[in-house]
Every structure is written in C-alpha cells, then in structure tokens.
Amino acid sequence: MLTLLHDSSVARLVQIALQEDVGTGDLTTELTISGSARARAVLLCKSDGVVCGLPVAEHVLRTLHDDIEFTARCAEGTRVSKGTVIAEVLGNAHAILSGERTALNFIQRMSGVATMAHAFASAIAHTNTKILDTRKTIPGWRLLDKYAAQCGGAVNHRMGLFDMIMIKDNHIAAAGGITGALDAVRSEYEEDRVRIEVECDTLHDVVEALSHGGFHRIMFDNFSPEHLRKGVELVAGTKETEASGGITLQTVQQIAETGVDYISTGAITHSAPALDISMEIMIGA
C-alpha cells in the first residue's frame, strides 16, 4: 500500500484545504460555542461503498486541535453498507465543527475513487487481468487518488513522468516511428534500469515493437476486443500486456476476457462520484 501521511505532500494539501475553508477563523462556531466545549461525532456512510481516507480525516481534525480522539470503526478498503458508522470522534468542539467539511471532502472523494476501483476490479475478478489507474487525477491529489485506487482493488500504474519510460504516440511520431523511439531510449537506458512501455495503435505496431525488443510492456491503445485478442496472441507471454482507451464498466469484462494482463482506465479517478458520508455532531457529549 502506498504511504500516505508519511508523505509531506499530503500534510501540505491538508494545510491548503484548511486555509481555504477556515482561513482566519470559523466565525459562526467561535461566536456560538465556547472554546472549551467538547463534542462527540460519528462518521456515517449514507450509501454503500468502499471506505478510504480515514487517516486523512483524522489528520485534518488533529491539525486543528490536539484534543481529538479519532476511532476508526473499519479498516481502509472495507466495503460497507448504507447506515454503517465508520468512525467516531471525541474532543474539542471547535476543531470538530471547523474541520467537518474539510475532513468530509477528503474522505468522500477518496471513498468514491475506492468504490469505483472496486467496481472495475469486481467486474473482472473471474479473470487474471488487473485494473490499473492512470495519471488522470486531480492536480495535487495524485498520491491520495492512487492510494484510494489501491484501497479499492486496483494496481497503481506509474506515479508520474519520472518513474517509468512510457513511449506514446506523440513520442513515436517525433522519433520517426516505434523503432526510432526505442533506439533513442535504449541509447540511454537499459531494461534493468527502469521499466519501459511502448504504445501500439495497430497490430503492425505490435509486430514492429516485438521485432525490436528492449522493453517490458506493450499497451494496446483503443484496440477492439477482436484485435486485442490477436495482439495478446502475438505477444505470447513474452511481454506484459495492457489495454487502454475509453474502457468502461460496460466493456471491461469483454476486454479482460481477451487474456490481457492489465487494463488501465482513467474513469477510476476522473469520473468517480463522491461517496455520501455525513458527520453527525453532538455538542457537550
């Protein structure tokens, strides 16, 4: 599982979110509730889904005040039904009220991504194919979106442009073809130094890539199921295979049944609806 709160980018993101919402202070709470008041709250799932982001919600509240006891009632990645209490909070009322919306924004988004990832992974559970996420994430949220995808049962693709060589259509066009692009990459990097993937748009591209070698994975971009099956047969297990391009919950099963190793889909992160979660607060509890 990806590290989460140990990454400084998450702490910075929480600070930015709190500054955006609380700013110089929560005027309503400060005027209506004593600063010494305590409160109890529960986080309640109002629809079925996969829970993700509890550590971030806790971090939001504890950033506002040390007097916060946060008790998770389920593990990250747990599938729950509507009406499930997923966490309990006890502590300073100002912190709980002021941090409520920011904490919920994090956990609703992350649980939504985890729930979408779970839906895709479940649809192809009868195959050996794995679901991959993509870089189609909210800017600044890359780590959180990919963590949530993992919680839902997906496998993380590259984190960014820095941790994998991925030769796509624009690189191929600029290099004068697949062979030229692979030659350029191999002049600087060997296979054992960094993972290399090459995108193919046609079966002819697949044949050209295989004749050159020097990479780890072929991406079949926007292949029909029929052509994808032929592409997998051409590769014959010598390279990892990945299908990509407009894949939905309605088509993912048919794609997986071609025998491809991985299916990457941006829908997990760019189209995931937030999971409906509320925080029910009792002052003076």
Mind listing the pLDDT tens digit for each residue in 44-99? 999 999 999 999 999 999 999 999 999 999 999 999 999 999 999 999 999 999 99
Report pLDDT for 131.
Answer: 98
Q: What is the pLDDT of residues 132-156, one digit of tens each?
A: 999 999 999 999 999 999 999 999 9
Is 88 one of the annotated active-site residues of the chain? no
Judge if 8-118+273-283 and 122-270 fold alike in CATH terms: no
So where are the chain's domains?
8-118+273-283, 122-270
Residue 159 DSSP symbol: S
User: For residue 8, what pLDDT is reported?
Assistant: 85
For residues 215 and 240, give the distance between their C-alpha atoms in angstroms, rounded to a whole number: 9
Task: State yes or no: is 257 an active-site residue.
Answer: no
For the residues of 47-86, what is the DSSP string, one character each? Answer: S-EE---HHHHHHHHHHH-S-EEEEESS-TT-EE-TT-EE
136 carries an active-site annotation: yes
What is the topology classification, in CATH, of domain 8-118+273-283? Aldehyde Oxidoreductase; domain 3 (3.90.1170)
Judge contact between 208 and 180, C-beta under 8 A: no
CATH 3.20.20.70 assigned to 122-270: yes
CA angle 180, 184, 189 (to 5 degrees): 140
Active-site residue among 136, 142, 186, 229? 136
Pairing of strands 262-264, 130-132: parallel
- Is residue 226 part of the annotated active site? The answer reads no
> Does residue 221 carry a catalytic annotation?
yes
Catalytic one of 79, 101, 186, 195? 101
Return the pLDDT at 3: 62
Give the count of alpha carbons within 13 A of 165, CB side only.
Answer: 22
Taking 70 as the pLDDT cut, the residues of the chain under it are 1-5, 191, 285
* Order of all β-strands in the sheet with 68-72: 68-72, 85-92, 38-45, 277-283
Catalytic residue among 76, 145, 221, 261: 221
Q: Write down the pLDDT at residue 5.
A: 62
Residues 6+ apart with CB under 8 A from 74: 51, 80, 84, 86
